[in-house]
Chains A and B, each alone.
Chain A
Amino acid sequence: MTAKEYIESGDLELFVYGALTPEQNKSIHAAMRKYPEVKQEVEKIEATLKKLAENTSPPVSEHTWKKIENKLFKTKIRTIGSKHSTNWSAILGWAASIVLIVGIFWLFNQNNAIKNELVEVQNENQNLLEEIVSKEERLADTESLLNILRDRDIKIVNLPGNAPVAPNAYAKVFYNENSNTVHLDARGLPEPPEGMVYQVWSLKMDPLTPTSIGLLDNFTKDENKVFLLEDIPISEGFGITLEPTGGSETPTLEQLYTIGVI
Protein backbone atom coordinates (compact mmCIF):
# COMPACT_ATOMS: atom_id res chain seq x y z
CA MET A 1 0.00 0.00 0.00
CA THR A 2 1.14 3.49 -0.72
CA ALA A 3 1.10 6.29 1.84
CA LYS A 4 -1.88 7.81 0.10
CA GLU A 5 -3.77 4.54 0.22
CA TYR A 6 -3.09 4.26 3.95
CA ILE A 7 -4.26 7.81 4.55
CA GLU A 8 -7.42 7.42 2.53
CA SER A 9 -8.31 3.97 3.85
CA GLY A 10 -9.85 5.34 7.05
CA ASP A 11 -7.77 2.84 9.02
CA LEU A 12 -5.56 5.53 10.57
CA GLU A 13 -8.57 7.02 12.38
CA LEU A 14 -9.61 3.60 13.62
CA PHE A 15 -5.97 2.98 14.65
CA VAL A 16 -6.07 6.00 16.94
CA TYR A 17 -9.49 4.95 18.30
CA GLY A 18 -8.02 1.57 19.15
CA ALA A 19 -10.59 -0.18 16.97
CA LEU A 20 -8.22 -2.29 14.87
CA THR A 21 -6.92 -5.83 15.34
CA PRO A 22 -3.36 -6.35 16.65
CA GLU A 23 -2.24 -7.38 13.13
CA GLN A 24 -3.69 -4.21 11.61
CA ASN A 25 -2.02 -2.16 14.34
CA LYS A 26 1.33 -3.70 13.45
CA SER A 27 0.91 -2.93 9.79
CA ILE A 28 -0.01 0.72 10.51
CA HIS A 29 2.96 1.00 12.85
CA ALA A 30 5.20 -0.28 10.06
CA ALA A 31 3.66 2.16 7.58
CA MET A 32 4.25 5.06 9.97
CA ARG A 33 7.93 4.15 10.05
CA LYS A 34 8.06 3.81 6.33
CA TYR A 35 6.05 6.90 5.31
CA PRO A 36 6.50 10.20 7.18
CA GLU A 37 3.17 11.38 5.69
CA VAL A 38 1.36 8.48 7.34
CA LYS A 39 2.97 9.27 10.66
CA GLN A 40 2.06 12.91 10.30
CA GLU A 41 -1.53 12.04 9.45
CA VAL A 42 -1.84 9.81 12.53
CA GLU A 43 -0.48 12.58 14.72
CA LYS A 44 -2.96 15.06 13.27
CA ILE A 45 -5.89 12.71 13.86
CA GLU A 46 -4.67 12.14 17.40
CA ALA A 47 -4.31 15.88 18.07
CA THR A 48 -7.86 16.52 16.84
CA LEU A 49 -9.34 13.77 18.98
CA LYS A 50 -7.32 14.87 22.00
CA LYS A 51 -8.58 18.42 21.56
CA LEU A 52 -12.16 17.23 21.17
CA ALA A 53 -11.94 15.24 24.40
CA GLU A 54 -10.26 18.08 26.28
CA ASN A 55 -13.08 20.35 25.26
CA THR A 56 -15.73 18.04 26.59
CA SER A 57 -13.93 17.62 29.90
CA PRO A 58 -15.11 19.33 33.08
CA PRO A 59 -12.20 21.10 34.80
CA VAL A 60 -9.99 18.59 36.55
CA SER A 61 -9.58 19.47 40.22
CA GLU A 62 -6.02 20.19 41.31
CA HIS A 63 -6.52 17.77 44.18
CA THR A 64 -6.75 14.89 41.75
CA TRP A 65 -3.03 14.93 41.02
CA LYS A 66 -2.25 15.28 44.75
CA LYS A 67 -4.44 12.28 45.47
CA ILE A 68 -2.71 10.21 42.79
CA GLU A 69 0.70 11.23 44.13
CA ASN A 70 -0.33 10.39 47.69
CA LYS A 71 -1.74 7.03 46.73
CA LEU A 72 1.25 6.05 44.63
CA PHE A 73 4.22 7.57 46.40
CA LYS A 74 3.77 9.21 49.77
CA THR A 75 1.42 6.72 51.37
CA LYS A 76 3.38 3.82 50.00
CA ILE A 77 6.66 5.19 51.29
CA ARG A 78 5.10 5.95 54.64
CA THR A 79 3.43 2.58 55.04
CA ILE A 80 6.53 0.74 53.93
CA GLY A 81 8.64 2.74 56.38
CA SER A 82 6.32 2.45 59.33
CA LYS A 83 5.46 -1.15 58.52
CA HIS A 84 9.10 -2.06 58.55
CA SER A 85 9.93 -0.28 61.78
CA THR A 86 6.90 -1.61 63.69
CA ASN A 87 7.45 -5.05 62.28
CA TRP A 88 11.07 -5.01 63.34
CA SER A 89 10.45 -3.89 66.86
CA ALA A 90 7.48 -6.25 67.19
CA ILE A 91 9.45 -9.16 65.80
CA LEU A 92 12.43 -8.33 68.01
CA GLY A 93 10.17 -7.95 71.03
CA TRP A 94 8.43 -11.26 70.43
CA ALA A 95 11.67 -13.02 69.68
CA ALA A 96 13.25 -11.65 72.84
CA SER A 97 10.27 -12.71 74.98
CA ILE A 98 10.27 -16.19 73.47
CA VAL A 99 14.00 -16.54 74.02
CA LEU A 100 13.59 -15.29 77.57
CA ILE A 101 10.72 -17.67 78.36
CA VAL A 102 12.52 -20.61 76.81
CA GLY A 103 15.66 -19.61 78.70
CA ILE A 104 13.82 -19.39 82.01
CA PHE A 105 12.22 -22.79 81.44
CA TRP A 106 15.57 -24.27 80.54
CA LEU A 107 17.24 -22.83 83.63
CA PHE A 108 14.34 -23.98 85.79
CA ASN A 109 14.63 -27.53 84.42
CA GLN A 110 18.39 -27.46 84.74
CA ASN A 111 18.07 -26.32 88.33
CA ASN A 112 15.60 -29.09 89.15
CA ALA A 113 17.75 -31.71 87.49
CA ILE A 114 20.81 -30.52 89.39
CA LYS A 115 18.88 -30.54 92.66
CA ASN A 116 17.70 -34.09 92.04
CA GLU A 117 21.20 -35.14 91.11
CA LEU A 118 22.55 -33.55 94.27
CA VAL A 119 20.06 -35.45 96.44
CA GLU A 120 20.98 -38.68 94.68
CA VAL A 121 24.69 -38.06 95.17
CA GLN A 122 24.13 -37.20 98.82
CA ASN A 123 22.18 -40.44 99.32
CA GLU A 124 24.88 -42.38 97.56
CA ASN A 125 27.53 -40.77 99.75
CA GLN A 126 25.54 -41.65 102.85
CA ASN A 127 25.25 -45.26 101.68
CA LEU A 128 28.94 -45.47 100.88
CA LEU A 129 29.80 -44.00 104.27
CA GLU A 130 27.59 -46.55 106.01
CA GLU A 131 29.14 -49.31 103.97
CA ILE A 132 32.64 -48.14 104.89
CA VAL A 133 31.74 -47.99 108.59
CA SER A 134 30.21 -51.46 108.52
CA LYS A 135 33.18 -52.81 106.55
CA GLU A 136 35.56 -51.22 109.05
CA GLU A 137 33.60 -52.72 111.90
CA ARG A 138 33.70 -56.12 110.28
CA LEU A 139 37.40 -55.75 109.59
CA ALA A 140 38.03 -54.88 113.24
CA ASP A 141 35.95 -57.87 114.33
CA THR A 142 37.83 -60.12 111.98
CA GLU A 143 41.20 -58.78 113.13
CA SER A 144 40.34 -59.24 116.79
CA LEU A 145 39.10 -62.73 116.01
CA LEU A 146 42.32 -63.48 114.19
CA ASN A 147 44.32 -62.23 117.18
CA ILE A 148 42.33 -64.47 119.47
CA LEU A 149 42.90 -67.51 117.32
CA ARG A 150 46.62 -66.80 117.18
CA ASP A 151 46.89 -66.78 120.95
CA ARG A 152 49.43 -69.46 122.01
CA ASP A 153 47.12 -70.69 124.79
CA ILE A 154 44.37 -71.59 122.35
CA LYS A 155 43.42 -75.22 121.98
CA ILE A 156 41.59 -76.16 118.83
CA VAL A 157 38.95 -78.81 119.23
CA ASN A 158 37.27 -80.30 116.18
CA LEU A 159 33.66 -81.28 116.68
CA PRO A 160 32.80 -83.65 113.78
CA GLY A 161 29.20 -84.42 112.94
CA ASN A 162 27.34 -87.10 114.88
CA ALA A 163 26.77 -89.68 112.16
CA PRO A 164 23.21 -90.80 113.11
CA VAL A 165 21.88 -87.21 113.48
CA ALA A 166 23.96 -84.88 111.29
CA PRO A 167 26.78 -86.66 109.48
CA ASN A 168 27.78 -83.57 107.44
CA ALA A 169 27.74 -81.17 110.36
CA TYR A 170 30.90 -79.97 112.02
CA ALA A 171 32.11 -77.24 114.37
CA LYS A 172 35.38 -75.95 115.76
CA VAL A 173 36.08 -74.79 119.28
CA PHE A 174 38.94 -72.44 120.13
CA TYR A 175 39.36 -73.02 123.83
CA ASN A 176 41.44 -70.75 126.04
CA GLU A 177 41.92 -72.37 129.39
CA ASN A 178 43.57 -69.28 130.92
CA SER A 179 40.75 -66.88 130.15
CA ASN A 180 38.03 -69.51 130.36
CA THR A 181 36.67 -68.52 127.00
CA VAL A 182 35.59 -70.42 123.96
CA HIS A 183 35.25 -69.13 120.45
CA LEU A 184 32.94 -71.46 118.59
CA ASP A 185 33.03 -71.58 114.80
CA ALA A 186 29.62 -73.00 113.98
CA ARG A 187 29.62 -72.42 110.23
CA GLY A 188 29.35 -76.16 109.64
CA LEU A 189 25.98 -76.42 111.36
CA PRO A 190 22.69 -76.31 109.43
CA GLU A 191 20.16 -73.60 110.22
CA PRO A 192 18.15 -74.65 113.27
CA PRO A 193 14.45 -75.25 112.57
CA GLU A 194 11.81 -72.85 113.91
CA GLY A 195 11.39 -73.00 117.69
CA MET A 196 14.70 -74.78 118.23
CA VAL A 197 18.13 -73.49 119.28
CA TYR A 198 21.66 -74.93 119.45
CA GLN A 199 22.95 -75.45 122.98
CA VAL A 200 26.67 -75.87 123.65
CA TRP A 201 27.90 -78.17 126.33
CA SER A 202 31.22 -78.51 128.17
CA LEU A 203 32.07 -82.13 128.86
CA LYS A 204 33.94 -83.82 131.70
CA MET A 205 34.81 -87.35 130.78
CA ASP A 206 35.09 -89.44 133.89
CA PRO A 207 32.24 -89.67 134.58
CA LEU A 208 30.67 -87.98 131.50
CA THR A 209 29.22 -84.74 132.82
CA PRO A 210 27.73 -82.15 130.42
CA THR A 211 27.52 -78.55 131.60
CA SER A 212 25.66 -75.99 129.50
CA ILE A 213 27.93 -73.15 128.49
CA GLY A 214 25.53 -71.21 126.29
CA LEU A 215 22.83 -70.97 123.63
CA LEU A 216 23.51 -69.88 120.03
CA ASP A 217 20.44 -67.63 120.18
CA ASN A 218 21.26 -65.40 117.24
CA PHE A 219 22.62 -68.20 115.04
CA THR A 220 20.63 -67.18 111.98
CA LYS A 221 21.46 -63.51 112.25
CA ASP A 222 25.16 -63.88 112.89
CA GLU A 223 27.11 -63.59 109.68
CA ASN A 224 30.44 -65.21 110.41
CA LYS A 225 28.93 -67.76 112.78
CA VAL A 226 31.73 -67.31 115.31
CA PHE A 227 30.37 -67.12 118.85
CA LEU A 228 32.14 -66.09 122.04
CA LEU A 229 31.24 -68.12 125.14
CA GLU A 230 32.64 -67.14 128.52
CA ASP A 231 33.05 -68.54 132.06
CA ILE A 232 33.87 -71.94 130.73
CA PRO A 233 34.61 -74.58 133.39
CA ILE A 234 37.60 -76.85 132.92
CA SER A 235 36.57 -78.92 129.95
CA GLU A 236 37.76 -82.14 128.33
CA GLY A 237 35.36 -82.02 125.41
CA PHE A 238 32.47 -80.10 123.81
CA GLY A 239 29.15 -81.03 122.30
CA ILE A 240 26.31 -79.24 120.53
CA THR A 241 22.71 -80.35 120.72
CA LEU A 242 19.50 -79.00 119.27
CA GLU A 243 17.09 -77.99 122.02
CA PRO A 244 13.77 -76.15 122.28
CA THR A 245 14.05 -72.36 122.55
CA GLY A 246 15.38 -71.36 125.93
CA GLY A 247 17.57 -74.44 126.21
CA SER A 248 17.38 -77.57 128.36
CA GLU A 249 18.78 -78.67 131.72
CA THR A 250 20.37 -81.70 130.20
CA PRO A 251 21.34 -82.35 126.62
CA THR A 252 18.91 -84.24 124.41
CA LEU A 253 21.25 -86.90 123.09
CA GLU A 254 18.93 -87.80 120.20
CA GLN A 255 19.63 -84.31 118.90
CA LEU A 256 23.41 -84.34 119.40
CA TYR A 257 24.81 -82.70 116.29
CA THR A 258 28.50 -82.57 116.92
CA ILE A 259 30.84 -83.73 119.62
CA GLY A 260 34.61 -83.74 120.13
CA VAL A 261 37.22 -84.17 122.87
CA ILE A 262 40.44 -82.33 123.62
Chain B
Amino acid sequence: MQPDQLILQLQQGDQKAFARIYEMYSESTMGVIYNIVLDTHLAEEILQDVFIKIWEKADSYNSSKGRFFTWILNIARNAAIDKLRSKAYKNSKKNLDANNFVHILEDNNNLSSKTDTIGLRKFVKALEPLCIKVIDLLYFKGFTQAEASKKLEIPLGTIKTRNRNCLKALRNSMGD
Protein backbone atom coordinates (compact mmCIF):
# COMPACT_ATOMS: atom_id res chain seq x y z
CA MET B 1 0.00 0.00 0.00
CA GLN B 2 1.22 3.45 -0.87
CA PRO B 3 0.52 6.03 1.91
CA ASP B 4 -1.19 8.53 -0.41
CA GLN B 5 -2.62 10.61 2.42
CA LEU B 6 0.79 10.94 4.08
CA ILE B 7 2.41 11.86 0.79
CA LEU B 8 -0.16 14.59 0.25
CA GLN B 9 0.47 15.97 3.74
CA LEU B 10 4.21 15.83 3.10
CA GLN B 11 3.70 17.83 -0.05
CA GLN B 12 1.77 20.39 1.97
CA GLY B 13 4.77 20.78 4.30
CA ASP B 14 3.48 18.71 7.22
CA GLN B 15 6.49 17.88 9.41
CA LYS B 16 4.69 15.06 11.22
CA ALA B 17 3.89 13.41 7.91
CA PHE B 18 7.56 13.75 6.99
CA ALA B 19 8.55 11.99 10.23
CA ARG B 20 6.18 9.11 9.42
CA ILE B 21 7.57 8.87 5.89
CA TYR B 22 11.07 8.70 7.37
CA GLU B 23 9.97 5.87 9.67
CA MET B 24 8.51 3.97 6.75
CA TYR B 25 11.26 4.42 4.19
CA SER B 26 14.54 5.23 5.98
CA GLU B 27 15.64 1.66 6.45
CA SER B 28 15.03 0.44 2.91
CA THR B 29 16.62 3.63 1.61
CA MET B 30 19.65 3.08 3.82
CA GLY B 31 19.83 -0.47 2.44
CA VAL B 32 19.92 0.77 -1.13
CA ILE B 33 22.54 3.41 -0.34
CA TYR B 34 24.69 0.98 1.62
CA ASN B 35 24.55 -1.52 -1.26
CA ILE B 36 26.23 1.11 -3.41
CA VAL B 37 28.73 2.82 -1.08
CA LEU B 38 29.45 -0.07 1.33
CA ASP B 39 30.34 2.32 4.13
CA THR B 40 27.97 2.78 7.05
CA HIS B 41 29.13 6.26 8.00
CA LEU B 42 29.05 7.55 4.45
CA ALA B 43 25.69 5.86 3.86
CA GLU B 44 24.20 7.70 6.84
CA GLU B 45 25.44 11.03 5.49
CA ILE B 46 23.87 10.27 2.14
CA LEU B 47 20.66 9.15 3.87
CA GLN B 48 20.41 12.58 5.50
CA ASP B 49 20.90 14.28 2.15
CA VAL B 50 18.29 12.05 0.54
CA PHE B 51 15.63 12.82 3.14
CA ILE B 52 16.42 16.52 3.03
CA LYS B 53 15.87 16.29 -0.71
CA ILE B 54 12.64 14.34 -0.19
CA TRP B 55 11.37 17.18 2.02
CA GLU B 56 12.50 19.91 -0.31
CA LYS B 57 11.43 18.27 -3.58
CA ALA B 58 8.24 16.60 -2.31
CA ASP B 59 6.24 18.82 -4.67
CA SER B 60 7.88 17.27 -7.71
CA TYR B 61 6.53 13.80 -6.92
CA ASN B 62 3.53 12.86 -9.05
CA SER B 63 1.88 9.45 -8.69
CA SER B 64 1.16 9.25 -12.42
CA LYS B 65 4.90 9.10 -13.07
CA GLY B 66 5.56 6.17 -10.75
CA ARG B 67 5.60 4.81 -7.25
CA PHE B 68 6.62 6.97 -4.29
CA PHE B 69 8.93 4.11 -3.31
CA THR B 70 10.53 4.30 -6.77
CA TRP B 71 10.86 8.08 -6.53
CA ILE B 72 12.80 7.74 -3.27
CA LEU B 73 14.78 4.81 -4.72
CA ASN B 74 15.90 7.01 -7.61
CA ILE B 75 16.94 9.86 -5.35
CA ALA B 76 18.88 7.47 -3.11
CA ARG B 77 20.65 5.63 -5.94
CA ASN B 78 21.59 8.89 -7.66
CA ALA B 79 22.86 10.47 -4.43
CA ALA B 80 24.94 7.40 -3.61
CA ILE B 81 26.38 7.06 -7.12
CA ASP B 82 27.12 10.80 -7.26
CA LYS B 83 28.95 10.53 -3.97
CA LEU B 84 31.02 7.62 -5.27
CA ARG B 85 31.87 9.50 -8.44
CA SER B 86 32.65 12.72 -6.60
CA LYS B 87 36.27 13.71 -6.32
CA ALA B 88 36.68 12.56 -2.75
CA TYR B 89 35.84 8.98 -3.62
CA LYS B 90 37.26 8.80 -7.09
CA ASN B 91 40.30 6.88 -5.93
CA SER B 92 38.35 4.78 -3.49
CA LYS B 93 38.84 1.05 -3.73
CA LYS B 94 35.11 0.52 -3.63
CA ASN B 95 33.81 -1.00 -6.81
CA LEU B 96 30.18 -0.67 -7.72
CA ASP B 97 29.66 -4.34 -8.46
CA ALA B 98 32.34 -6.00 -6.39
CA ASN B 99 29.67 -6.65 -3.80
CA ASN B 100 26.01 -7.41 -4.00
CA PHE B 101 23.25 -7.73 -1.48
CA VAL B 102 24.01 -11.38 -0.95
CA HIS B 103 27.54 -10.60 0.24
CA ILE B 104 26.12 -7.95 2.47
CA LEU B 105 23.61 -10.35 3.92
CA GLU B 106 26.37 -12.91 4.47
CA ASP B 107 29.13 -10.67 5.72
CA ASN B 108 27.42 -8.18 7.90
CA ASN B 109 26.41 -9.13 11.38
CA ASN B 110 25.15 -5.67 12.17
CA LEU B 111 22.30 -5.69 9.72
CA SER B 112 19.07 -4.30 10.99
CA SER B 113 16.35 -6.76 11.62
CA LYS B 114 12.91 -5.53 10.87
CA THR B 115 12.28 -8.90 9.41
CA ASP B 116 14.01 -12.14 9.98
CA THR B 117 17.37 -11.59 8.32
CA ILE B 118 18.51 -15.11 8.90
CA GLY B 119 15.41 -16.39 7.15
CA LEU B 120 15.81 -13.97 4.26
CA ARG B 121 19.45 -14.90 3.98
CA LYS B 122 18.40 -18.47 3.48
CA PHE B 123 15.90 -17.61 0.75
CA VAL B 124 18.27 -15.30 -1.02
CA LYS B 125 21.00 -17.90 -0.92
CA ALA B 126 18.62 -20.31 -2.55
CA LEU B 127 18.38 -17.98 -5.57
CA GLU B 128 20.27 -18.78 -8.71
CA PRO B 129 23.54 -16.84 -8.95
CA LEU B 130 22.32 -15.12 -12.13
CA CYS B 131 19.11 -14.03 -10.33
CA ILE B 132 21.19 -12.39 -7.65
CA LYS B 133 23.18 -10.52 -10.27
CA VAL B 134 20.10 -9.41 -12.20
CA ILE B 135 18.27 -8.12 -9.11
CA ASP B 136 21.43 -6.47 -7.82
CA LEU B 137 22.05 -4.57 -11.04
CA LEU B 138 18.49 -3.58 -11.90
CA TYR B 139 17.24 -2.85 -8.41
CA PHE B 140 20.12 -1.80 -6.23
CA LYS B 141 22.45 -0.32 -8.84
CA GLY B 142 19.78 1.17 -11.12
CA PHE B 143 21.05 -0.36 -14.35
CA THR B 144 18.88 -0.21 -17.45
CA GLN B 145 17.94 -3.51 -19.14
CA ALA B 146 20.45 -2.78 -21.90
CA GLU B 147 23.24 -2.08 -19.42
CA ALA B 148 22.45 -5.21 -17.47
CA SER B 149 22.30 -7.27 -20.67
CA LYS B 150 25.76 -6.04 -21.65
CA LYS B 151 27.21 -6.54 -18.20
CA LEU B 152 25.87 -10.05 -17.74
CA GLU B 153 26.30 -11.02 -21.39
CA ILE B 154 22.76 -12.32 -21.75
CA PRO B 155 20.32 -11.29 -24.50
CA LEU B 156 18.41 -8.07 -23.89
CA GLY B 157 15.08 -9.79 -24.56
CA THR B 158 15.53 -12.26 -21.73
CA ILE B 159 16.44 -9.78 -18.98
CA LYS B 160 12.89 -8.78 -18.20
CA THR B 161 11.55 -12.31 -18.01
CA ARG B 162 14.46 -13.57 -16.01
CA ASN B 163 14.12 -10.74 -13.57
CA ARG B 164 10.45 -11.47 -13.13
CA ASN B 165 11.07 -15.14 -12.48
CA CYS B 166 13.82 -14.36 -9.99
CA LEU B 167 11.66 -11.96 -8.03
CA LYS B 168 8.80 -14.41 -8.16
CA ALA B 169 11.04 -17.06 -6.65
CA LEU B 170 12.11 -14.70 -3.91
CA ARG B 171 8.53 -13.78 -3.15
CA ASN B 172 7.48 -17.38 -3.00
CA SER B 173 10.28 -18.33 -0.65
CA MET B 174 9.46 -15.32 1.54
CA GLY B 175 5.94 -16.70 1.86
CA ASP B 176 4.23 -13.94 -0.02
Looking at the complex, which one of A18, A19, A29, A45 makes contact with B167 (CB distance below 8 Å)?
Answer: A45
A196 to B117, CA, bound (A): 141
A15 to B167, CA, bound (A): 13
| A120 is an interface residue with CB less than 8 A from chain B | no
1/0 per residue, CB under 8 A from A, across B98-131: the answer is 0001001100101111110100110010000000
Known: A13-B163, A26-B64, A60-B44. A43 touches B52 (CB 8 A): no
- Do most interface residues of chain A lie in helix, strand or loop, or is the interface mixed? helix
| B10 is an interface residue with CB less than 8 A from chain A | no
Whether B32 lies near A64 (C-beta < 8 A) is no
| A–B complex contacts, Cβ < 8 Å, 26 sampled | A8-B164, A15-B66, A16-B69, A17-B138, A18-B66, A19-B142, A26-B64, A43-B2, A45-B167, A49-B167, A51-B28, A51-B120, A52-B31, A53-B35, A54-B114, A57-B30, A57-B111, A58-B30, A58-B108, A59-B111, A60-B26, A65-B22, A65-B26, A68-B48, A71-B52, A73-B15
A13 to B137, CA, bound (A): 13
Specify which chain B residues have a CB less than 8 angstroms from the CB of A64 in the assembled complex: 26, 44, 47-48
- Do most interface residues of chain B lie in helix, strand or loop, or is the interface mixed? helix
Whether A58 lies near B160 (C-beta < 8 A) is no
| A55 is an interface residue with CB less than 8 A from chain B | yes
- Taking CB atoms and an 8 Å cut-off, the chain A residues in 3-33 that contact chain B are 8-11, 13-19, 22, 25-26, 29
| B9 is an interface residue with CB less than 8 A from chain A | no
Whether B43 lies near A11 (C-beta < 8 A) is no
Whether A52 lies near B120 (C-beta < 8 A) is yes
Specify which chain B residues have a CB less than 8 angstroms from the CB of A43 in the assembled complex: 1-2
Q: Which residue of B lies closest to A22 (CB)?
A: B65
Looking at the complex, which one of A17, A51, A57 makes contact with B70 (CB distance below 8 Å)?
Answer: A17
A6 to B99, CA, bound (A): 32
- Give me the interface of A with B, judged by CB distance under 8 Å: 8-11, 13-19, 22, 25-26, 29, 42-61, 64-65, 67-68, 71-73
Whether B138 lies near A57 (C-beta < 8 A) is no
B132 CB, min distance to chain A CBs, angstroms? 11
Looking at the complex, which one of B2, B28, B138 makes contact with A53 (CB distance below 8 Å)?
Answer: B28
Known: A25-B65, A57-B30. A71 touches B48 (CB 8 A): yes
Whether B31 lies near A16 (C-beta < 8 A) is no
Whether B28 lies near A50 (C-beta < 8 A) is yes
Most buried by B among A11, A48, A53: A53
Specify which chain B residues have a CB less than 8 angstroms from the CB of A61 in the assembled complex: 44
Whether A48 lies near B48 (C-beta < 8 A) is no
A17 to B113, CA, bound (A): 23
B5 CB, min distance to chain A CBs, angstroms? 16
Specify which chain B residues have a CB less than 8 angstroms from the CB of A60 in the assembled complex: 26-27, 30, 44, 47, 112
Known: A50-B28, A56-B111. A25 touches B51 (CB 8 A): no
A47 to B1, CA, bound (A): 8
Looking at the complex, which one of B15, B55, B71, B145 makes contact with A19 (CB distance below 8 Å)?
Answer: B145
Known: A19-B144, A19-B145, A43-B2. A58 touches B67 (CB 8 A): no
